[in-house]
Structure 1
Amino acid sequence: MIAKEKDQVQFIEFHQPALESGDYHLKVEQTLDYNGRDADLKTYGRELTFTVQGERFEPLSPNSIYAVFPPSESLGDHSNVLPHITVKRSTLPWERYPGFEDENLSWLILLLFRDSDFEDEADKPQPKNITLGELLEGEENIFFPKDTELQLGQKPKDLLTVIDIKKKYIKDILPSHNDLAYLAHVRKASSSDPILEKEFLPFRNEYATIISNRLPEPNGRSIVHLVSIEGRYTEDGFDFLRAGDEDLIRFVSLASWSFDCVDPNQTFTQLLQRLNHQPSTPRLPENDNPQTEKYLANGYITVPHGLRKGSKTISWYRGPLNTGYNTETYEFPVKAADELLRYDSAIAMFDISYAAAWQLGRMLMLENRRLAIELYNWKRQHSQNLKRLEQLVSNLPLISRRVDKLINFIPPNLKEWFNGVELLKGIPFNYLVPDERLLPPESIRFFWVDPLWIDCLQDGAFSIGRVTGADVEDDHNIRSDQDFNLNEERKITGIIMRSKVVSGWPGLIVDGYDQAVADLDSIDETEGNILPLLRMETLAEDVLICLFQGEVKTVDIHLEPESMHFGLDAPTVESPEWSKNLRDDNGELMDEFLISPIPWHNEEKEVVNLEELAQKMNEYLKLDEFTSAQFGLQMIEGVQKVRFVYQE
């Protein structure tokens, strides 16, 4: 197992389905004896035919694939990686058989092709769509098992994807029959926290992973196909059906992706380590003018500002992502956005930040017509109920005059919306980051959520239906007793990151701490130091925002256990051969155990002999049984982690 704090990842050899995919015929009979004589025996029966359908020919849906590695269309230093695909259904690789009675072997394998494999461009595998009928009918000089039988629900008109490759290109890269035992395993996330274990983890964190047996093209492009080998293996290996080297072998492709190995600076760790994190907060570059620098240091930018009488000027604006904690407050409600304008006479410029927040809140609420009507009706009903209650209790001295607390119940939809904007949900991105220079490409910034900015936005939203002075007074009474404002004790901070890491590595984990510690190994990872994560969401393909409760000073970014990849240790000056360090049961590297050189089926094409590699591993580990679970644990490259510390 790989353990981190309370969470663990368990490697499991296989997960057999309750029923194999295929057709079933069920027959049930019951014989009743009425009088103890054979002539009075009556037999009743029922027959039922049904099919257990699993994937077989059709491509996997994107929703059934959890992740692939290396990421599709990525550019990075992946030349030491054994590509893998992780699927959400943990039984998938064992729902059919690669050969007769191969119960615990995967019927799916990954075929990796390099651009340099092929003598001619036309020889490269080109996926094409055909019907199931055409697959079974076959084509001249294209070899595919002709004895494949359809099951119930499979129709000749069903579409599927196939690739045709000459035998000479694949005979040296296919895994052996014995290699199949190490190509697939199950990973299950678990927790020592009984609440998490009971309520969440058993239902969503069990995946099946299939590993390739070949390294990608160094400094070139590779394409990987997940193909079916159902019924195509014997104990001697893949059955080519007596095809010649120039004949085409047909495979059903259930998924495919491609990637490039070119730039060593495009790996997960390198991309993060190269992030621009100076300055630490979202602000423009320093300015020599002291008055200008005062605004820039607080995250302001200049924007065009149209005044009510038609004149135009330039004003300061800052969104809710502040460079520090703002302790300012304001007496709400306000009558209009202009009430929140601020004027700096020293430089003759307005600060429109809070006015813009108020106006945005009003526009967002009006944009959601259903919610706006619900807010208006609730405020009106509340005001009417309040007046009735005041009349009823005006002559009862023992009852508090503040009877509005008895009826001031916020409808769930409204409460959810107002609580959501506290976490910046639904706020347009150009209000959060109004200038690209605040968050340039490949950068990360720390920030505080400005509680006054959020209060202004909420008051603007709450102004719906506010017309008369009485409406203003009613809104004041309602808001004074409701949780429509950020509590001053609830400090919210966060990070916003713009990087290829966000799109290239789904499933990132971000941990925030209230201590500023640069050493990855020295922080005290206890519940007292880890800050609660309030929100983590991608705002764009390459933009990630995380909000924490409390003041975040250190952030660790790493991959979740399900994103761990597999590979070998590349040759170096000190160790010129491909090698592999072994791990203990907790996933920690054991420097004293090193396999070198790696056994190959074909060293020139870098096709690994998985069976022999597994045997060499067990010579060191001396386990009673060495399965795909132990092999998967040994082949992982680990969860990479990069730390960022807030610099004041």
Structure 2
Amino acid sequence: MSPSPQHPARDTIPLGDIELHDNYLPALPAGDYRAEVTHALRTGQDDHAPVVGDTFTATQSFTVRGPQVTIDTGAVVARQPPDASTGRFAEVLPHVVLGDPMLPWERALEGAPPGTPWLALLVLTDDQLVGGTDAPTRTISGTVGQFLASDAAVLKPELKLEADLGDADPCAYIQVAATEFHAIAPRLDELRFLAHCRGANTGDRPILGLQEDGLFAVVVASRFPADAPPGSTTVTKNIVHLVSLEGHEKLLVDDPNFQGRTSVALLSLASWSFWAYPDLQADFADLAEGLTRTPDGAQAGREEMWLRLASPYPDGDATPAPQRHVARRLNDGYVPLPYLTRSGESTYGWYRGPLTPVLPVATAAAAQATTADALIGYDLAWGGFDLSLATAFETGRALALADAAFGQHLLAFKHAARNLVDTLYHQATSNHLPEDGDGPRTARAAFGALLDGSLLTTLGTPPGRPTDPWSPPTPAAPPADPAQALEDFLRSDTTRATLTEALADGDGLAEHFAPVVQWLGRLMLLYPVPFIHLVPDERMLPKESLRFFHLDPSWLDALVSGTLGIGAQSSRDTLQGQFVAASVRAAAARVAAAHRATLRGTTPDDPDPGGAAPEVSGLLLRSALVSGWPNLAVRAVDPGGAELPILRMDHLAPNVLLCLFDGLPAMVELREPQEGFRFGVEDHGVIPLRNMLPPRPPANLRLGEQIGTSVTFPVLDHLRTGTSGRVLNLDSLVPALRAALDAAHGTTVGPIGPADLAMQMVKVPEAIHFTGPDGDRG
């Protein structure tokens, strides 16, 4: 079966905007079906004509498969509040974002209308759960048979398993006290308001291996988290479970019959926990604001946001020369590291990775180096070694040798290039082959010229006796310096042009050229480079920090030189490699520029073949923002406000994010993902009402824009009575919200659906902007 086409939402919706939909219904919900076809032959065209013989009947049974007891581990894109987080979450309705936009509606609940999800999000505390004490979220791991086994104390769902499931299949479930389940579980007619579908542009997000199509399903809880009373310093643990309600439809009413059971068993498809704190702690705004502060809590200046070690000495005229030298080195991004020379002496060397706080100056030596020693710098004035480019060379060499598949392709490519050069050189120097116009001399061209001449006429003429004695052609005199002659040939414009053309479509070259440049393209984006080579000292990137950098092109050149240097057996190989390397580097750079677009399945912009190599910059973020918001949005713009392409955005660790931009940004924005923003109420339990109609005079408000700062609605006035927690009473909330919207708009806005409720209850994604000096450098 071919995959479904990608939804246009991911690229057509402007960055930062979202689309809200009530649902995304499948053509057929999951379950077992039977198709029956009957055929009857009649004596005439009239429907009442007698039937001839028996009626023919054909029956075909089939099953529409869908998740029932488990979902894929990668199905959950985001959780809100984040897993294991602590913060002021009492006014936030927990919700989960699912990568499959159809998942909440793939199964049907008995007695529920179309558009009712089979999933619900339950917010619980430890005292409401039974068993499962060995798991942080009180989940019980077992088999389907154990889950469905009859229990006098536990009410099990009336579940009809799909044909591909058996009693031995694994599952996870929870047991909720019966009275607590009745208090917090949504009613059957409320369920449709607790799930909706969101569309968002995913161009500013890490890919994370997701099947990203721009549409996401969101399941929202109807209960606010439990927290301690105002003024308390106690954190309250909340446990969230995404559960299946299939088979429990009879309990989703005002007066359910628990059949004498004290608890209810529910399949748990995903779970997490968080802690609600009365005071503002680790929410998005606080974490983002913390990125702009030094470890002692002071406001960080622009100079402190670069990726480098803090210098203990000022770089001023009053500073002694040795200390000022150290300050300048540290400010330029260098780190002093122990260095053992080849002669066995222990000293130190300066090292700077590819991520630098200053705009580096490119050097041609890095692209032409054949050994790491050729790239060791020595400061005669201070007696110090600069080992940055030498380390890059050795890193590239080690990475290439560690990848057997790449090594085979590279050696095969070099061997094919050598054979091609030998053939071209033989053609250029052989006196047995005549010239073919302006082209190279080849045996094929010589034979073609013979056929075009008098060969056929000569063959039809009786042979005559030769009058002159025959002697073989005199071989050409060998060059006085064969090595120099070959070097001159390699340096010729004709040879270079032929090699360049052969890289694209030459026999034996193109086969190995493509995998070589693909590997090098990833290398130029630093994928296989160890993190210790990027950030050699942990103090450069402390906890809860954001650091900006430039990408050093000389470091990348040395990295690629080390990679391409493996397998060189002679000076001829080295020289030949230098001529081929230019084309290889250019092709690898194009692969690197298109890498992220290729992963996302989009078409990259065509680079300007005559333009200068773009400056690459980026950021490293080490923060709970990365782990708490794995789909964190990052956007960079140039001084003119145009979006800068993102070359790479990846998690290097659960709390470390690396971004590379194609250019130098004037502004960088970190923002909560549009599909995973918060959902809840503002202070005092109210929400600002938003416009639900097309723009109209006099306000001309856009869809979703707030009607006014004072136009609010008291959500917390519509809670269930008689429960210990704050659970929304949607039967009361939805009609009251519709009346408030009618009054605010001055006209009837129509029925309120799940998407409308989501738009009213949404809390705008929070964001933080970082601007460069004078707004022109990031």
Q: Secondary structure, in 3 states, of the residue corresponding to 2:163?
A: coil
Cα deviation for residue 101 of structure 1 reads 4.1
For residue 454 of structure 1, what is the amino acid of its counterpart? L
CA separation in 2, counterparts of 1:295 and 1:446? 18
The unaligned stretches of length 5 or more in structure 2 are: 1-8, 204-209, 228-234, 294-299, 314-322, 430-434, 440-491, 504-509, 590-610, 693-702, 743-748
Shift in CA distance, 587/466, structure 1 to aligned 2, threshold 3 Å: same
Cα deviation for residue 292 of structure 1 reads 0.9
Shift in CA distance, 333/173, structure 1 to aligned 2, threshold 3 Å: same
The percentage of aligned residue pairs carrying the same residue is 28
Q: Secondary structure, in 3 states, of the residue corresponding to 1:371?
A: helix
1:187-226 equivalence runs, <5 A:
187-189=198-200, 204-218=213-227, 219-226=235-242
Q: Secondary structure, in 3 states, of the residue corresponding to 1:475?
A: helix
Q: Secondary structure, in 3 states, of the residue corresponding to 1:358?
A: helix
Aligned match of 2:652 = 539
Shift in CA distance, 294/457, structure 1 to aligned 2, threshold 3 Å: same
2:351 matches 1:317: yes
CA separation in 2, counterparts of 1:373 and 1:202? 32
Shift in CA distance, 512/35, structure 1 to aligned 2, threshold 3 Å: closer
* Structure 1 contact 539–545 (Cα < 8 Å) conserved: yes
Aligned match of 2:245 = 229
For residue 16 of structure 1, what is the amino acid of its counterpart? L
Q: Secondary structure, in 3 states, of the residue corresponding to 1:507?
A: coil
2:688 matches 1:581: yes
The more displaced of 544-553 and 41-50 is 41-50
- Give the TM-score of the pair, scaled to structure 2: 0.73
Shift in CA distance, 157/118, structure 1 to aligned 2, threshold 3 Å: closer
2:35 matches 1:26: yes
CA separation in 2, counterparts of 1:465 and 1:185? 58
* Structure 1 contact 100–231 (Cα < 8 Å) conserved: no
Aligned match of 2:61 = 49
2:174 matches 1:163: yes
Q: Deviations over 1:432-465 (max 9, x none)?
A: 1000111111111111111111111111111112
2:760 matches 1:634: yes
Shift in CA distance, 144/80, structure 1 to aligned 2, threshold 3 Å: same
Q: Deviations over 1:527-556 (max 9, x none)?
A: 3xx211111111112111111111123210
Aligned match of 1:67 = 78
Shift in CA distance, 396/446, structure 1 to aligned 2, threshold 3 Å: farther
Aligned match of 2:153 = 141
Shift in CA distance, 379/35, structure 1 to aligned 2, threshold 3 Å: same
Q: Secondary structure, in 3 states, of the residue corresponding to 2:573?
A: helix
What is the aligned residue count?
620
CA separation in 1, counterparts of 2:437 and 2:347? 57
Question: In the alignment, which of 232, 236, 251 is matched to residue 266 of structure 2?
Answer: 251
Cα deviation for residue 155 of structure 1 reads 2.8
Shift in CA distance, 497/95, structure 1 to aligned 2, threshold 3 Å: closer
CA separation in 1, counterparts of 2:257 and 2:153? 11
Cα deviation for residue 393 of structure 1 reads 4.7
Q: Deviations over 1:463-483 (max 9, x none)?
A: 112232222221222234543
Shift in CA distance, 616/42, structure 1 to aligned 2, threshold 3 Å: closer
Question: In the alignment, which of 618, 627, 630 is matched to residue 503 of structure 1?
Answer: 627
Aligned match of 1:447 = 549
* Structure 1 contact 583–633 (Cα < 8 Å) conserved: yes
CA separation in 1, counterparts of 2:129 and 2:422? 84
Cα deviation for residue 268 of structure 1 reads 1.3
Aligned match of 1:415 = 517
Shift in CA distance, 65/290, structure 1 to aligned 2, threshold 3 Å: same
2:377 matches 1:342: yes
Q: Deviations over 1:346-404 (max 9, x none)?
A: 22111111111111111111111221222122123213312322443566794684233
Q: Deviations over 1:116-146 (max 9, x none)?
A: 6689998x9943245444554421132235x
* Structure 2 contact 340–347 (Cα < 8 Å) conserved: yes
Cα deviation for residue 567 of structure 1 reads 0.8
1:426-505 equivalence runs, <5 A:
426-484=528-586, 489-505=613-629
Q: Secondary structure, in 3 states, of the residue corresponding to 1:479?
A: helix
For residue 309 of structure 2, what is the amino acid of its counterpart? L
For residue 174 of structure 2, what is the amino acid of its counterpart? I
Shift in CA distance, 161/296, structure 1 to aligned 2, threshold 3 Å: closer
CA separation in 2, counterparts of 1:172 and 1:323? 57
Shift in CA distance, 303/125, structure 1 to aligned 2, threshold 3 Å: closer
Aligned match of 1:643 = 769
Q: Deviations over 1:585-607 (max 9, x none)?
A: 43333323201262111475211
Cα deviation for residue 45 of structure 1 reads 3.5
Higher strand share: 1
CA separation in 2, counterparts of 1:46 and 1:99? 28
Q: Deviations over 1:178-217 (max 9, x none)?
A: 42231111223369x9xxxxxxx99712222111111112
Aligned match of 1:404 = 496
Shift in CA distance, 42/99, structure 1 to aligned 2, threshold 3 Å: closer
Aligned match of 2:607 = none
* Structure 1 contact 305–312 (Cα < 8 Å) conserved: yes
Q: Deviations over 1:312-336 (max 9, x none)?
A: 2111110011122222312443232
The more displaced of 84-93 and 491-500 is 84-93
2:111 matches 1:100: yes
* Structure 1 contact 333–472 (Cα < 8 Å) conserved: no
RMSD (Å), alpha carbons: 3.3
Shift in CA distance, 477/149, structure 1 to aligned 2, threshold 3 Å: closer
CA separation in 2, counterparts of 1:292 and 1:257? 48
CA separation in 1, counterparts of 2:130 and 2:212? 48
- Give the TM-score of the pair, scaled to structure 1: 0.87
Higher helix share: 2
Aligned match of 2:736 = 616
The unaligned stretches of length 5 or more in structure 1 are: 194-200, 516-523, 572-577
Shift in CA distance, 242/512, structure 1 to aligned 2, threshold 3 Å: closer
Question: In the alignment, which of 305, 308, 312 is matched to residue 283 of structure 1?
Answer: 308
2:616 matches 1:600: no
Shift in CA distance, 371/152, structure 1 to aligned 2, threshold 3 Å: closer
* Structure 1 contact 143–240 (Cα < 8 Å) conserved: no
CA separation in 2, counterparts of 1:63 and 1:121? 24
Aligned match of 2:461 = none
Cα deviation for residue 233 of structure 1 reads 3.8
Shift in CA distance, 101/319, structure 1 to aligned 2, threshold 3 Å: closer
Q: Secondary structure, in 3 states, of the residue corresponding to 1:283?
A: coil
Q: Secondary structure, in 3 states, of the residue corresponding to 2:579?
A: helix
* Structure 1 contact 143–241 (Cα < 8 Å) conserved: no
Shift in CA distance, 607/285, structure 1 to aligned 2, threshold 3 Å: same
The more displaced of 107-116 and 452-461 is 107-116
Cα deviation for residue 274 of structure 1 reads 0.5
* Structure 1 contact 23–49 (Cα < 8 Å) conserved: yes
For residue 587 of structure 1, what is the amino acid of its counterpart? G
Shift in CA distance, 381/81, structure 1 to aligned 2, threshold 3 Å: same
Q: Deviations over 1:474-525 (max 9, x none)?
A: 122223454359785311111111111111101111111223xxxxxxxx74
CA separation in 1, counterparts of 2:212 and 2:577? 45
Cα deviation for residue 24 of structure 1 reads 1.6
CA separation in 1, counterparts of 2:372 and 2:650? 30
Aligned match of 2:206 = none
CA separation in 1, counterparts of 2:757 and 2:715? 17
Aligned match of 2:410 = 375
1:355-366 equivalence runs, <5 A:
355-366=390-401
CA separation in 1, counterparts of 2:669 and 2:682? 25
Shift in CA distance, 341/293, structure 1 to aligned 2, threshold 3 Å: same
